[in-house]
Amino acid sequence: MDLVELSRLQFAVTALYHFLFVPLTLGLSILLGIMETVYVMTGKPVWKEMVKFWGTLFGINFAMGVATGVTMEFQFGTNWAYYSHYVGDVFGAPLAIEGLMAFFLEATFVGLFFFAWDRLSKVQHLIATWALAIGTNLSALWILIANGWMQYPVGARFNVDTMRMEVTDFMQVFFNPVAQAKFVHTVSAGYVTGSIFVLAISAYFVLRGRHVEFARRSLTVAASFGLASALCVVVLGDESGYTAGQSQKMKIAAIEAMWETEPAPASFTVFGLPNLKNHHTALEVKVPWMLGLIATRSIDTPVPGIGELVGTARNNIVDGLIAYRLLPQVREHPADPALRAQLDVHVANLGYALLLKTIRPDVENATAGEIDRAAASTIPNVPVLFWSFRVMVGLGLWFIALFATCFWLSAKLTLHKTPLVLRAALYSLPLPWIAAELGWIVAEYGRQPWVIVGVLPTALGVSSIPAGNVAFSLIGFALFYTGLLCADLYLLVKTIRLGPGGSHGEIAA
């Protein structure tokens, strides 16, 4: 494997590991806030016991989230140095604000949450818990503003004097519609994860006939919060689909395996076997109108297919090449306004010309055939996206069904007597993680070959370091994280086996 592949693999491995812990932190922190609010309002000790038990599990998971998160903050610099130089002026800002606004809040109050039960009044402790929950959710907001800009880079332009992207309008960066849609989709997916976690483990207690009163209350909270969240995930996932339909047409076309533009309103493919080589999807089962409605919210706007988008990319490359050829001239005559004006006309497509860099280093001499190859390289891995998306959506629908059933039964006060549903809840435990990781794959793998869509190809973003160093750190991180994950799972299982109250006399923090 070469440097680019190793760097990408390391980023994927560390990000996917980190994302095993993040959704649960997001969801459990809010659930802890809800449970403790009920405790403060009713004064019933069982609710405090719930906060403590789920809090202990939260803490074990939180430590892993922090541990794997440290790497992420520095990995852009260590492994993606050119990326960091090229877009740091834009991308660094939300990361720094995330630290100031979110990380400090969650990390400072997590100490109080665990250590200050006897030092704070009930209401003060409740405030600490909510500060922790708000902090974790704010951190998701800022990292997704950064990520949203990678998907849809608004409010910035290329500066030839510094050879990088610079911010022109922070409001556009911060209120990026893609970022907003991704934020609500991601946090509600986190709430679903937290709810399934509580639901499944509570179901386990009831099935074993242990801690039934404790578990019944936990089931009720998880089922109602989970139902609302699962509905949000799908509705707001649809919002993500709409904004992606506006800004990332290639990703939508690839998810749909839609090789050619369909007349409006486009249909949605429920099943099919996409083939990357001959650009054909076998055994298609289609629902008429649905894609047109999701991606354009209209019945008369066509959704462009992959073939048409490759054609657009080709035009952009040709235009971008004009900008690329102007760069050395502007560097040579930095005071010539005519050259700069000419560059301004074509600079928006400079990134497309950079796609040629992986084909030949002297981009300016690219042949028509090479331009065609570069245009074709804008097609992401269609079968992987097609199936990741469908499994994710299928799981999302299953969560709605599961939560709705649990909610209905717990409203009738019969959930704890319905072992079939409890078993379904228990066996659903790993599913939200699968859905979350697939969601990451759709969003980030679907962005390829770009690291910043239309601005910087992934292959150019890497650091100039020996590939051996990256292989070493990749193996190091993989071993390290796997070891820690084993310790994490061991402790989670041990704590669950002990059950609520089991940590009395044990060490709870």
Partner 1 sequence: MSEYEILRLIWWALLGILLIGFAVMDGFDLGTAALLPFVGRTDMERRVAINAVGPVWEGNQVWFILGGGAIFAAWPALYAASFSGFYLAMFLVLATLILRPVGFKFRSKVDDPRWRAFWDWCLFAGGIFPALVFGVAFGNLFEGVPFSFDDTLRLRTDITLLGLLNPFALLVGLVSLCMIAMHGAAWLNHKTRGPVQVRARAALPVLAGLFMLLFLLAGLWLSLKGGYRIDGVMPHDGPSNPLLKQVSRGSWFGNFAVMPVLWLAPVLAFAGAALAALLRTKPLVAFLCSALAIAATIATAGLALFPFLLPSSTMPSASLTVWDASSSRLTLAVMLGATALLLPVVIAYTTWVYRVMRGPVSEDSLNTDSHSY
Q: Which of residues 314-353 bind partner 1 (CB under 8 A)?
A: 328, 331
29 binds partner 1 (CB under 8 A): no
For residue 385, give both structure tokens: 């996206």
Per CB under 8 A, which region of 22-30, 70-78, 219-227, 232-240 contacts partner 1?
A: 70-78
Site string for partner 1, 463-482 (x = CB under 8 A): xxx---x--xx--xx--x--
Angle of helix 81-97 versus helix 122-151 axis, rounded to 10? 150
Q: Decide if 268 contacts 256 (C-beta within 8 A).
A: yes
Per CB under 8 A, which region of 54-62, 258-266, 305-313, 343-351 contacts partner 1?
A: 54-62
For residue 41, give both structure tokens: 């309002």
Closest CA to 295 of 321, 331, 258: 258
105 binds partner 1 (CB under 8 A): yes
167 binds partner 1 (CB under 8 A): yes
Q: For the residues of 118-155, what is the DSSP string, one character each? A: TTS-HHHHHHHHHHHHHHHHHHHHHHHHHHHHHHS--S
13 binds partner 1 (CB under 8 A): no
* Of residues 66 and 231, the one with the C-beta less far from partner 1: 66
Per CB under 8 A, which region of 108-116, 226-234, 237-245, 338-346 contacts partner 1?
A: 108-116
* Of residues 67 and 234, the one with the C-beta less far from partner 1: 67
104 binds partner 1 (CB under 8 A): yes
Rounded least distance, CB 86 to partner 1, Å: 8
Per CB under 8 A, which region of 181-189, 215-223, 342-350, 483-491 contacts partner 1?
A: 483-491
> Applying CB under 8 A, what is the total number of residues that bind partner 1?
83
275 pairs with which residues across the strands?
Answer: 280
- In this structure, are strands 268-275 and 164-167 parallel, antiparallel, or unpaired? unpaired
Q: Considering only residues 414-473, where is the footprint of partner 1 by CB under 8 A?
A: 463-465, 469, 472-473
C-alpha dihedral (274, 278, 282, 287), degrees to nearest 10: 60
* Of residues 170 and 271, the one with the C-beta less far from partner 1: 170
Which H, E and C letters describe 10-50, residue by residue?
Answer: HHHHHHHHHHHHHHHHHHHHHHHHHHHHHHHHHCCHHHHHH
Pick one of 9, 13, 46, 97: the residue that binds partner 1 (CB under 8 A).
97
Pick one of 12, 66, 290, 467: the residue that binds partner 1 (CB under 8 A).
66
For residue 35, give both structure tokens: 């449970």
Pick one of 16, 67, 231, 234: the residue that binds partner 1 (CB under 8 A).
67
Per CB under 8 A, which region of 27-35, 109-117, 288-296, 303-311 contacts partner 1?
A: 109-117
Pick one of 81, 207, 293, 330: the residue that binds partner 1 (CB under 8 A).
81
Which element (helix H / strand E) includes 237?
Answer: helix 212-247
From the number of C-beta atoms within 10 Å of its C-beta (0-12, 13-18, 19+), residue 209 rates as: exposed
CB neighbours of residue 412 within 10 Å: 10
Per CB under 8 A, which region of 91-99, 260-268, 272-280, 395-403 contacts partner 1?
A: 91-99
Which sign does the torsion angle of CA 304, 310, 311, 317 carry? positive
Q: For the residues of 389-431, what is the DSSP string, one character each? A: HHHHHHHHHHHHHHHHHHHHHHHTT-GGG-HHHHHHHHHTTTH
143 binds partner 1 (CB under 8 A): no
Closest CA to 469 of 69, 66, 15, 81: 81
Pick one of 120, 322, 359, 429: the residue that binds partner 1 (CB under 8 A).
120
98 binds partner 1 (CB under 8 A): yes
403 binds partner 1 (CB under 8 A): no
Rounded least distance, CB 318 to partner 1, Å: 21
Q: How far is 418 from 247, CA to CA, in rounded Å? A: 46
Q: Decide if 139 contacts 102 (C-beta within 8 A).
A: yes
Rounded least distance, CB 89 to partner 1, Å: 5
Cα dist from 193 to 75, 86, 247, whole Å: 26, 35, 28
- Helices (H) and strands (E) counted in the chain, each on its own, are 18, 6
284 binds partner 1 (CB under 8 A): no
Q: How far is 413 from 409, CA to CA, in rounded Å? A: 6
For residue 298, give both structure tokens: 């209209």
Site string for partner 1, 34-53 (x = CB under 8 A): --------------------
Per CB under 8 A, which region of 87-95, 235-243, 315-323, 402-410 contacts partner 1?
A: 87-95
* Of residues 145 and 431, the one with the C-beta less far from partner 1: 145
Pick one of 6, 32, 34, 112: the residue that binds partner 1 (CB under 8 A).
112
Q: Decide if 58 contacts 25 (C-beta within 8 A).
A: yes
489 binds partner 1 (CB under 8 A): no
Pick one of 96, 299, 397, 413: the residue that binds partner 1 (CB under 8 A).
96
Pick one of 13, 16, 63, 471: the residue that binds partner 1 (CB under 8 A).
63
